[in-house]
Structure 1
């Protein structure tokens, strides 16, 4: 059996650059550990010069150039007879136009394959890019996602909260087993952050998100004015390399989120691994990932207007957190252990490697 990986294009500031390297290796190691005879082949695409939109990591035209060249290579593999019955395609961004073309070739060439897609975001989330566009014209996006769902053998989500959002938005029954919650294959993070640990902590509160409307950076920047003795740093305001970003995490005492859209919250988990205390809203995937100790009431940052109403309460809460952080009052060991299952590919590998 061959596992064909169609990766998302790798970007230095995103986890996708790490996946290009680590995911094929981790999947091959998982196959060997399970005694499954499988080869892993990654199909990359043409990377045009990036011109990302404001608040996004992707150039929305460029990403389709990348995906189109990926599917052209997949078609050549079918044509040359390299794709065999029983092979599996792992498509790491399920919103991929080539999904239907793979199904087309599989059916008409009589080469049955499995398709597994990882869902990151989509129209079903009103705070996502596609969701905001779909408010003006929802029909095509919802129909596209339903068609994608029907084309996949499994649609994979990192958390229950995200899966439930998809079920509601696309109209998938609660007992439909084609929806799978598996966590994300990011077990490499612990080793990547390890060399950066041990640096002296500084009074830094880090915003580890895109400067996008759904992440609400304006709230973070406004909060900074209430804490002049602390540095409030939005990491995307500087073009950091991954190494520089990890160094900054290791020096930070706190990572802060007020996101309205979040698949998993990778930056906050990286912060925990680097010894930074997470401060997150009681909503989205955060609710199932973090104990109450690290969550604040969701309504405090439900919108910019809600934040202004609840600002005194949030300032008081964050002030208490920062005082406790400085005094060494937090232990992150249990938090890290709880989060680790969300950042492990073990369940995904079991599904991919199943016969």
Structure 2
């Protein structure tokens, strides 16, 4: 029996990382069973210090390194006890994990060949990410680190083509390099989680579902909201909420709005669609390939250097959407169908289980 060694991100209730800790191991196990593959999924945890996320991020930048360091120490113990077998697969759910090099080191020196898959959420390659906002001259190590990480993975997995293109361009990765894979994100549980909220009565709420970070442009959202006195423009994370409270707020909202400059997938907007809210998203980032055109607005309307000259157009566009919602609304089912593959782990499971499946056949 081969093993899948799963290294999760530390969980936070308000973020999808906590949901991954609840669902991902079982989803991989079910995927293996569906493919007729006999494997065991072993989750390797780290020590979780009490932490407060760094401002503008959803991780504590010191705490996450405590977590990852203790996580990889436990992987080393598994190697030491000879529990890691040739052909096993390691899945790093956060590819920005220095422990991948230690796995490569132990694999090579102990002559136990393994396969490693890493999920890239963001990084220095994205100019609007926390790391990306540090100018290269002050952080030349960041680009070098990403090159080293990429070299260590057999598969670098990305949620969307937009992030693949950004990564390839920044790191000069050729288009025929098969180590890069578009896989969507393993979040098929969301549809079931939000199904019960579809019957909640709607209120005149336009929701900003993102974390409070500079690249999300919260102040722009609030400024636009002042043009609509009959509607509540609500920043979800301005009030501390449990996940259930957040889902209830989503369900009561008529619109989820984004003006983000950085996104992996914009999970909050998808959750909103599942709960019956109309998405209003910019024509940039991953949104371009994910959403039907009727829910996109021109990117320049919410770019920092062109927002003011386009504010009136944005307000007029939003006014039409809110009027249409009041008069009968939108059919969101085609949008849900178009979005669903981006929030399915099937392509990821194919990558994880590829060699196991080949052996089984």
TM-score by length of 2: 0.97
Between the aligned partners of 1:327 and 1:181, the Cα distance in structure 2 is 39
Superimposed CA distance per residue, residues 102-125 of structure 1 (whole angstroms, 9 cap, x where no aligned partner)? 000000000000000000000001
Between the aligned partners of 2:245 and 2:150, the Cα distance in structure 1 is 38
Q: Map of 1:1-355 to 2, 5 A cutoff?
A: 1-303=2-304, 305-355=305-355
- The 8 Å contact of residues 262 and 285 in structure 1, kept in 2 or not, is answered as yes
Between the aligned partners of 1:329 and 1:235, the Cα distance in structure 2 is 23
Between the aligned partners of 2:30 and 2:292, the Cα distance in structure 1 is 32
Between the aligned partners of 1:222 and 1:241, the Cα distance in structure 2 is 27
Between the aligned partners of 2:263 and 2:323, the Cα distance in structure 1 is 28
Quote how far apart the aligned CAs of 1:317 are: 0.2
Superimposed CA distance per residue, residues 309-345 of structure 1 (whole angstroms, 9 cap, x where no aligned partner)? 1110000000000111111230000000000000000
Between the aligned partners of 1:21 and 1:85, the Cα distance in structure 2 is 28
- The 8 Å contact of residues 123 and 134 in structure 1, kept in 2 or not, is answered as no
Structure 1 outlier segments of 4+, above 3 Å:
none
Between the aligned partners of 1:328 and 1:17, the Cα distance in structure 2 is 36
Between the aligned partners of 1:216 and 1:74, the Cα distance in structure 2 is 39
User: Which residue in the other structure is 2:359 paired with?
Assistant: none
- The 8 Å contact of residues 10 and 16 in structure 1, kept in 2 or not, is answered as yes
Superimposed CA distance per residue, residues 255-274 of structure 1 (whole angstroms, 9 cap, x where no aligned partner)? 00001001111010000000
Quote how far apart the aligned CAs of 1:138 are: 3.7
Give 3-state SS (helix, strand or coil) of 1:59's partner. Answer: coil
Superimposed CA distance per residue, residues 277-332 of structure 1 (whole angstroms, 9 cap, x where no aligned partner)? 000000000000011100000001111x4211111000000000011111123000
Give 3-state SS (helix, strand or coil) of 1:284's partner. Answer: coil
Which range moves more in the overlay, 260-269 or 129-138? 129-138
Give 3-state SS (helix, strand or coil) of 1:353's partner. Answer: helix
User: Which residue in the other structure is 2:358 paired with?
Assistant: none
Quote how far apart the aligned CAs of 1:136 are: 4.5
Between the aligned partners of 1:343 and 1:234, the Cα distance in structure 2 is 24
Between the aligned partners of 1:328 and 1:50, the Cα distance in structure 2 is 45
Quote how far apart the aligned CAs of 1:51 are: 2.0
How many matched pairs?
Answer: 354
Structure 1 gaps, min length 5: none
Between the aligned partners of 2:197 and 2:296, the Cα distance in structure 1 is 26
Superimposed CA distance per residue, residues 190-248 of structure 1 (whole angstroms, 9 cap, x where no aligned partner)? 11111222011000000010111111101001011000100011111111111001011
TM-score by length of 1: 0.99
Between the aligned partners of 2:281 and 2:139, the Cα distance in structure 1 is 30
Give 3-state SS (helix, strand or coil) of 2:90's partner. Answer: strand
CA RMSD of aligned residues (A): 0.8
- The 8 Å contact of residues 134 and 141 in structure 1, kept in 2 or not, is answered as no
Between the aligned partners of 2:139 and 2:313, the Cα distance in structure 1 is 37
Between the aligned partners of 2:223 and 2:111, the Cα distance in structure 1 is 59
